[in-house]
Structure 1
Amino acid sequence: MVSQAHSSDNGFRPCRNAIVLSVKTLCARRKSMPTHDKAHTQWSTDDPLAECRSELHKKAFGAHHPLAGHPEFSIDALEEAAMEASRRDGDLYVDAGDFSFADKWGTTPKPDMTIHEIFDRIETAGAWLVMKHLETNRAYKALLDEFVTFLIGIAGPDGARLLSNAEMIVLVTSPRRKSAFHFDAEVNFLAQVQGSKDIWICDPMDRSVTTEEEIERYYSVSNNAGTYKPHAETVARRFTLCPGDAVHIPTHASHWVQNHDSVSVSVSLNMEFPRRFADTYRANYYLRRFGIRPRPPGESKVVDCSKAAAINGLRHVKSLVKR
């Protein structure tokens, strides 16, 4: 079961030894279970389907998955997958070194090592590897399809029509490495396959953590737009993920990760919303630059659609000019 706690509960901060002991107790259950085919044969949610359907995109919730122990996610298999990803433009990101929650992607030095050397030294390299679009490999595509069936079941017929472009991203992380504070546009589930970690997830509508301006910049300027705020930990929900655990990260929900004392393998599975939702935020970004305080998306469907149509029209004009 996904362990979760509010980091602000009674102001209590357990000591490091207590945290390690708690994680070992939680994850020991996984180690004593049978192989992945017997432990979790399919995706499932902790809470009833109807409850999860109402929380999709809005609230973090726990789930379980059948990927832990799968041979496609062994370190050897992932090294080969990383080699394949390196041959695709933009599908492999690697950095190594000290990192804080407030740092931005791309500010940590890239290691002066080959992919083989990084995997060989992953225990001590302080590295973070991100492999995108593993679904280009048929073996991983079959596993992604199982997730899509699960997600569509949660979304229901109406919600499923809004989802497309399923993607599988695998993250391999050195012990005790942190991952930056950020938020994403996609409907996302993070599945823990090997090792354990803590993840803090904020309410996507908490504008003290994720501002409208940051979301607008995310779609218009950089996906590094989210900025860590010191008070975020006091309002976030903390989940401890062990192999077999997964958690739903709502769209625009800021989150950050602390890996524990062993190598972590996590799988991020996501699907996209229609482009018109992003275009409404893009329109607001440009309106704000002209000194106008735009209406946030969701207040008026007519206004939102008009903004999206305007951005789409500009995009069409630009494509004609480039011809």
Structure 2
Amino acid sequence: MTTVQKGEAATVHWATREPAEVCRRALHHEPFRATHPLAAHPLFTIDALMRLAREVSKRKGDLYFDAGDVSIDDKWGKIPVPDRPVTDVIERIESAGAWIVMKHVELNPAYAAVLADWAAFVRDVAGPSGAHLLRKPEMLVFITSPNRVTPFHFDAEVNFLVQIAGSKDLWVCDPNDRTVTTEEELEIYYAGDIAAGHYKPRVDVEAQHFQLDPGDAVHIPTHGAHWVKNHNNISISLSLNFEFPAWYRADIYRANHYLRRLGVTPRGPGCSVLSDRAKAATGAAIRLTRDARRRLVSGARA
């Protein structure tokens, strides 16, 4: 663990468990462990998070919570949402069977400062040649009931799962195994369905397993399907993310989605530089048209 001496005290910072050059090669491709200084941070106590939840609940789309008996192959939107304020759910979190997500927590300046420390750490891991791809750092906070499962899914972002309080098990799949996450699922994801990944029965045998305790973090590679099972305790954890620029992968997969709908079997990103450039331009046009339509609809509703 990396420490900086201040007189007789030591300040703990973000650090990788393995040598930096090993983690630099693994970034985006393989999971790896890290350590962090946030386990006793006052911003992540239940009382502080209650105040944060009231703040986040005022922003449309930045708060999600559900409750119920969830299995590994369940999907977002299919789990019951409690008909009560999120603060009530937090107060009952030990018995609620709930999963609470607060997004864009970095809009609060105090949390933004915490995120900035992490972002500097990841840019250092990525090195000069990789840091230019890392955009828009974001912090999400998870509050989870004992024994709750977070279902199988994958994400587009550069992601670190950070354990603050409680403990849990995490399973991470190989992001390049197309029998786990198919090209079609990736295309559908980038076309707008974040629940595009489907659990396959054999993946629990082949996935890499991690136990997370307070002070632990794991890098989950982009497109690496994963799921989580909380231990018999209340869990507080963070998802700290960077986005990639849209041209890097998203616009290519978006173009491939529409090519497949036309009966073409497209090649994935990285097979042809010229093809990727053409698809990125097409995917960008699709994205901009879709965004313009959404703004028009939003304006009409207003």
Write the letter of the residue equivalent to 1:134: V
Q: Distance in 2 between matches of 1:167 and 1:116?
A: 23
TM (normalized to structure 2)? Answer: 0.92
Structure-2 residue corresponding to 1:230: 201
2:40 is matched with 69
Gapped runs of 5+ residues in structure 1? Answer: 2-37
Task: Choose the corresponding residue for 1:205, options 176, 194, 199.
Answer: 176
Pick aligned residue for 1:296 from 259, 265, 268: 268
| Alpha-carbon offset, residue 91 of structure 1 | 0.3
How has the CA–CA distance of structure 1 residues 231 and 192 changed in structure 2, closer, same or farther, with 3 Å as cutoff?
same
Task: Report the secondary structure of 1:239's partner residue.
Answer: strand
CA distance in 2, matches of 1:219, 1:157: 27
Task: Using the TM superposition, give the Cα deviation of residue 296 of structure 1 relative to its aligned residue in structure 2, in angstroms.
Answer: 1.1
Q: How many residues align?
A: 287
2:100 to 129, 133, 144: 129
Matched position secondary structure for 1:261: coil
Residue 92 (structure 2) pairs with residue 94 (structure 1):
no
Residue type at the aligned position of 1:308 = A
Distance of aligned partners of 1:220 and 1:315 in 2 relative to their CA distance in 1, 3 Å threshold? closer
Q: Work out whether 1:161 is the aligned partner of 2:161.
A: no
* Other structure's SS at 2:90 match: helix
1:79 partnered with 2:50? yes
Matched, 1:41 2:22: no
The letter for the 1-side match of 2:282 is A
SS in structure 1 at match of 2:127: helix
Map 1:234-313 → 2, pairs under 5 A: 234-276=205-247, 277-313=249-285
Q: Percent identity?
A: 54
Please give the alpha-carbon distance, in whole angstroms, between the structure 1 residues aligned to 2:132 and 2:31.
21
The superposition leaves residues 136-167 of structure 1 with CA deviations (integer Å, 9 ceiling, x where unpaired) of 11110000000000000011111110111000
User: What is the Cα-based RMSD across aligned positions, in Å?
Assistant: 1.7
1:147-196, Cα deviation, whole Å (9 max, x unpaired): 00000001111111011100000000000000010000000000100000
Instruction: Report the secondary structure of 2:80's partner residue.
Output: coil
- Other-structure match for 2:80: 109
The one-letter amino acid of 2:263's match is G
Alpha-carbon spacing, 1:320–1:137, altered in 2? closer, same or farther (3 Å): closer
Q: 1:245 to 1:112 in 2, by over 3 A?
A: same
Compute the displacement of 1:221 (Å).
3.1
C-alpha deviations, 1:235-285, integer Å up to 9, x for none? Answer: 100000000000000000000000001000001100000101200000110
Task: Classify the secondary structure of the residue corresponding to 2:197.
Answer: coil
Q: 1:196 to 1:115 in 2, by over 3 A?
A: same
Q: Which residue of 2 aligns with 1:174?
A: 145
Please state how far the C-alpha of 1:315 moved relative to its aligned partner.
Answer: 4.4
Structure 2 CA distance for partners of 1:76 and 1:39, relative to 1, 3 Å? farther
Structure with bigger RCO (C-alpha 8 Å, 6+ apart): 1
Q: How far apart, in 2, do the equivalents of 1:75 and 1:89 lie? A: 22
Aligned-pair CA distance for 1:40: 6.6
Match of 1:148 among 105, 119, 125: 119
Partner Cα distance (1:144, 1:319) in 2: 28
